[in-house]
Amino acid sequence: MNDVLLSVRGAGKNFSQGSTSRWACRDVNFDLYPGEVLAVVGESGSGKSTLLRLLAGRLACDEGNVNYRVRSEISSEENHASELINLADLSQARLRWLARTDWGFVEQHARDGLRMNVSGGANIGERLMALGARHYGQLRSQALSWMERVELDTSRIDDLPATYSGGMQQRLQIARNLVTHPRLVFMDEPTTGLDVSVQARLLDLMRELVEQLNLAAVIVTHDLAVARLLAHRILVMKDGAVVEQGLTDRVLDDPQHAYTQLLVSSVLTN
Ligand SMILES: Nc1ncnc2c1ncn2[C@@H]1O[C@H](COP(=O)(O)OP(=O)(O)OP(=O)(O)O)[C@@H](O)[C@H]1O
């Protein structure tokens, strides 16, 4: 049995504005294993994106903790390679290192996850350069091979991402994230806003890559069909709380909580 990769215990985030304070998400608990895909679903404002940002160390928890099994080369000397480390105990430099190497983050809007003023090829090569790669020929051949892998036309390698279609930009974002062989990828509504046919092909590609690379992933989506296709498990959020979680088929075919039942039935009647 593999060791847990990500362990979340009682995690929550509070946003204060003036005299009012509000929990965007509260008391979230789950474990994620290598190669496992978890979908976080719920309506707008339920706290999905905030939770994703807590998991990726982009926001600090105001309660509870998020723990990650850091690879030996980036765990500090006093920590064992196999130990789960609380993100709150990592320095900003170590968190940035994780974010650049062992994690990926696919944003809903590609412009937030790509560098729009450098070529598609440079977008893929950049994360390798952050790891010390300098050989131009090798960077270019890696970029070409990842463009092929995500089914991008390699003749577009020198074009700026702004000249790519929305679906192509998402493929580029995925290639940019996967080039360093991360173990865990966070995705925030990765197919929202794309044409239905583009979405379907992108989802197929994502499913293939997740399987081939044994990737663990946390995918925020309001689309239960995305969760059904990609996720092993589902976590349902409402008003910042997790109301139900379990295996995808169980949650979608036999929802226990009234809110999940409503979500599932509203898809069926749409
Ligand atoms: N930076 C912030 N400052 C104050 N409140 C925030 C901030 N970010 C999020 N919130 C609040 O936290 C709650 C959860 O927001 P969040 O974006 O996590 O929900 P969501 O489920 O991802 O919604 P959507 O699907 O619309 O993106 C909302 O009430 C939101 O207004």
| For the chain, percent of residues with pLDDT exceeding 70 | 94
81 belongs to a structural domain: yes
Ligand 1 centre distance from Cα of residue 64 (Å): 19
Ligand 1 centre distance from Cα of residue 15 (Å): 9
54 belongs to a structural domain: yes
Residue nearest to atom 6 of ligand 1 (CA): 15
For residues 71 and 175, the model is more confident at 175
For residue 239, the surrounding DSSP H or E stretch is none
pLDDT at residue 133 in the model: 78
Q: Which long-range contacts (CB under 8 A, 24 or more apart) does 110-116 make?
A: 110/161, 110/166, 110/169, 110/170, 110/172, 110/173, 111/161, 111/169, 113/173, 113/176, 113/177, 114/161, 114/169, 114/172, 114/173, 114/176, 115/161, 116/160, 116/161, 116/162
Ligand 1 centre distance from Cα of residue 50 (Å): 6
**Mean pLDDT, rounded, of the chain:** 91
187 belongs to a structural domain: no
pLDDT at residue 79 in the model: 47
- How do beta strands 63-69 and 84-86 pair? antiparallel
**ipTM value for the complex:** 0.95
**Residues with a CB atom less than 6 Å from ligand 1:** 15, 24, 42, 44-50, 222
Residue nearest to atom 2 of ligand 1 (CA): 15
246 belongs to a structural domain: yes
248 belongs to a structural domain: yes
For residues 122 and 200, the model is more confident at 122
* 15-29, 76-90, 236-250: range with lowest mean pLDDT: 76-90
219 in Cβ contact with 39 (< 8 Å)? yes
Number of domains in the chain: 1
209 belongs to a structural domain: no
* Confidence tier at 268 by pLDDT (50, 70, 90): low
**Dihedral of alpha carbons 259, 260, 266, 269, sign:** negative
Residue nearest to atom 26 of ligand 1 (CA): 44
End-to-end CA distance of the chain: 41
For residues 172 and 73, the model is more confident at 172
Give residue-wise pLDDT tens across range 50-69. Answer: 999 999 999 999 999 999 99
7 belongs to a structural domain: yes
Give residue-wise pLDDT tens across range 65-78. Answer: 999 998 766 545 44
* Confidence tier at 82 by pLDDT (50, 70, 90): low
- Name the residue range of residue 218's domain: 1-102+214-269
* 46-60, 63-77, 112-126, 221-235: range with lowest mean pLDDT: 63-77
Ligand 1 centre distance from Cα of residue 45 (Å): 5
195 belongs to a structural domain: no
| CATH number of 82's domain | 3.40.50.300
What atom in ligand 1 is closest to the CA of residue 49?
A: 22
